[in-house]
Amino acid sequence: MFKKLSILSILIVAALYLLLFSSLLFFLNEPTRVDGNRIAYSIFLSVSTAAVSTIFSMIVALPSAYALSRYNFFGKTIVDALLELPLVVSPLALGAIVLLFFDNPIGKWLAAHGITPIFQISGIIVAQFITIVGVAIRMIKQAFDSVPRYYENVARSLGANSFQSFRTVVIPLAKKGILASFMVCFAKSIGEFGATLMIAGSMPFKTETIPIGIFLSLSTANISRAVWLIIILILIGLTSLIASRYIIR
Amino acid sequence: MIELNKITLKRGDFVLNQISFNIKKGEIYLLLGDSGSGKTTILELISGFIKPDSGKIIMNDNDIVRLSPDKRNITYLPQNMSLFPHLSIVNNILYGIKMQGISLDRHYYDMLISRLEIADILEDYPEHISGGQTQRAALARAMIVKPKLLLLDEPFSALHPSLRYELEDLLKSIAQEFNLTILAVSHDIDEALHLSDVISFLHNGEIIQTAKRNEIYFRPRTAEVAKFFGIKNLFDGKITNADEDRLKIETVFGSINVRRTYREKGIQTEENIVWGIHSDEVRIIRKEHKEVRLNRISGTISRVFPRGQHWNISLLCGAAMLNITIPDFIYKRLHISKKDKINIELPEERIFIIMRPPANKQIYRKLKLG
Which domains, and CATH codes, for chain B?
2-218 (3.40.50.300), 223-365 (2.40.50.100)
The answer to whether position A158 is within a domain reads: yes
Nearest residue on chain B to A161, alpha-carbon basis: B70
Contact B72 A157 (CB under 8 A): yes
Q: Which of residues 31-50 of B touch A (CB under 8 A)?
A: 44, 47-49
Tell me the backbone φ, ψ of residue B73, rounded to 5 degrees: 55, 40
Which residue type occupies B278? H
Give SS3 for B37. Answer: coil
Interface residue A178 vs chain B (CB under 8 A): no
Nearest residue on chain A to B44, alpha-carbon basis: A153
The answer to whether position A240 is within a domain reads: no
d(CA B53, CA B137): 35
B94's enclosing H/E stretch is helix B89-100
B32's enclosing H/E stretch is strand B28-32
- Amino acid B357: pLDDT: 61
Residue pLDDT, tens place only, A74-94: 989 898 888 888 888 889 999
CA proximity to B75, closest of B24, B140, B148, B126? B148
Nearest residue on chain A to B95, alpha-carbon basis: A158
**A76: distance to nearest CA of chain B, Å?**
19
Residue B207 backbone zone (phi > 0: left; psi -120 to 50: alpha; other: beta): beta
Interface residue B11 vs chain A (CB under 8 A): no
Contact B72 A155 (CB under 8 A): no
Are the beta carbons of B45 and B57 closer than 8 angstroms? yes
- Amino acid B7: pLDDT: 94
- Amino acid A129: pLDDT: 95
Which member of B44, B99, B142 has the closest CB to residue A164? B99
DSSP B24: -
Interface residue B82 vs chain A (CB under 8 A): yes
Strand-pair category, B62-63 with B74-77: unpaired
Contact A160 B95 (CB under 8 A): yes
Contacts of B209 (CB under 8 A, 6+ apart): B200, B201, B216, B220, B221, B222, B225
- Amino acid B79: pLDDT: 84
Are the beta carbons of B232 and B240 closer than 8 angstroms? no
**A152: distance to nearest CA of chain B, Å?**
10
Q: In chain B, what residues touch A154 (CB-CB under 8 Å)?
A: 76-78, 82, 84
For A100, other C-beta atoms within 10 Å of its C-beta total: 11
Per-residue HEC secondary structure of A72-100 comes to CCCCHHHHHHHHCHHHHCCHHHHHHHHHH
Q: What is the CATH number of the domain that holds A114?
A: 1.10.3720.10
The CA–CA distances, whole Å, from A70 to A13, A66, A73, A93, B226 equal 38, 6, 10, 32, 40
Strand-pair category, B272-276 with B341-345: unpaired
Entry field: residues in chain A:
249
**B215: distance to nearest CA of chain A, Å?**
33
Sign of CA dihedral B37, B40, B43, B45: negative
The answer to whether position A18 is within a domain reads: no
Interface residue A150 vs chain B (CB under 8 A): yes
Interface residue B68 vs chain A (CB under 8 A): yes
**A167: distance to nearest CA of chain B, Å?**
11
The answer to whether position A10 is within a domain reads: no
Nearest residue on chain B to A162, alpha-carbon basis: B70
Which member of A150, A161, A168 has the closest CB to residue B82? A150
- Helix A210-219 / helix A36-70 crossing angle, nearest 10 deg: 130
Interface residue B145 vs chain A (CB under 8 A): yes
Interface residue A146 vs chain B (CB under 8 A): no
Are the beta carbons of B222 and B354 closer than 8 angstroms? yes
A111 or B289, greater pLDDT: A111
Residue pLDDT, tens place only, A177-217: 999 999 999 999 999 999 999 999 889 899 999 999 999 99
The answer to whether position A94 is within a domain reads: yes
- Amino acid B4: pLDDT: 94
d(CA A181, CA A186): 8
The CA–CA distances, whole Å, from A147 to A66, A119, B86, B148, B152 equal 11, 42, 12, 28, 21
Interface residue A154 vs chain B (CB under 8 A): yes
Interface residue B229 vs chain A (CB under 8 A): no
The answer to whether position A78 is within a domain reads: yes
Contact A157 B141 (CB under 8 A): no
| Separation of CA B133 from chain center | 25
What's the total number of domains in chain A? 1
The answer to whether position A53 is within a domain reads: yes
Interface residue B142 vs chain A (CB under 8 A): yes
The answer to whether position A137 is within a domain reads: yes
CA proximity to B121, closest of B142, B141, B106? B141
- Amino acid B290: pLDDT: 67
Which member of B47, B84, B141 has the closest CB to residue A151? B84
A3-16 as b/e: b if 16+ CB within 10 A: eeeeeeeeeeeeee
Residues of chain B short of pLDDT 70, as ranges, are 288-292, 357-370
Q: In chain B, what residues touch A148 (CB-CB under 8 Å)?
A: 82
Entry field: residues in chain B:
370
Nearest residue on chain A to B151, alpha-carbon basis: A157
β-bridge mates for residue B285, sequence order: B343
d(CA B167, CA B133): 10
Residue pLDDT, tens place only, B30-79: 999 988 899 999 999 999 999 999 999 999 889 999 999 999 999 999 88
For every residue of B178-221, DSSP letters joined together read TT--EEEEES-HHHHHHH-SEEEEEETTEEEEEEEHHHHHHS-S
DSSP B119: G
Residue B217 backbone zone (phi > 0: left; psi -120 to 50: alpha; other: beta): alpha
d(CA B37, CA B42): 10
Tell me the backbone φ, ψ of residue A174, rounded to 5 degrees: -100, 10
Are the beta carbons of B218 and B212 closer than 8 angstroms? no
For every residue of chain A, DSSP letters joined together read -HHHHHHHHHHHHHHHHHHHHHHGGGGGGSPP---HHHHHHHHHHHHHHHHHHHHHHHHHHHHHHHHHHH---TTHHHHHHHHTHHHHS-HHHHHHHHHHHTTSHHHHHHHHTT---TTSHHHHHHHHHHHHHHHHHHHHHHHHHTS-HHHHHHHHHTT--HHHHIIIIIHHHTHHHHHHHHHHHHHHHHT--HHHHHHH---TTTT--HHHHHHHHHHTT-HHHHHHHHHHHHHHHHHHHHHHHHHH-
The CA–CA distances, whole Å, from B204 to B78, B208, B357 equal 21, 9, 17
Contact A150 B142 (CB under 8 A): no
Kindly compute the dihedral angle of the four CA atoms of residues A34, A36, A38, A43, in this order, to the nearest 10 degrees.
110
Rg for chain A (alpha carbons), in Å?
Answer: 21
Task: Kindly report the average pLDDT of chain A as a whole number.
Answer: 91
Are the beta carbons of B187 and B32 closer than 8 angstroms? yes
**Which range marks the domain in which residue A190 is found?**
48-201
Which member of A151, A158, A175 has the closest CB to residue B99? A158
Q: In chain B, what residues touch A168 (CB-CB under 8 Å)?
A: 95, 99
Nearest residue on chain A to B144, alpha-carbon basis: A158
Contacts of B117 (CB under 8 A, 6+ apart): B136
d(CA B113, CA B257): 55
Interface residue A56 vs chain B (CB under 8 A): no
Residue B188 backbone zone (phi > 0: left; psi -120 to 50: alpha; other: beta): beta
CA proximity to B154, closest of B167, B145, B141, B143? B167
Among A158, A161, A171, pick the best mutation site for testing chain B contact (most B Cβ within 10 A). A158
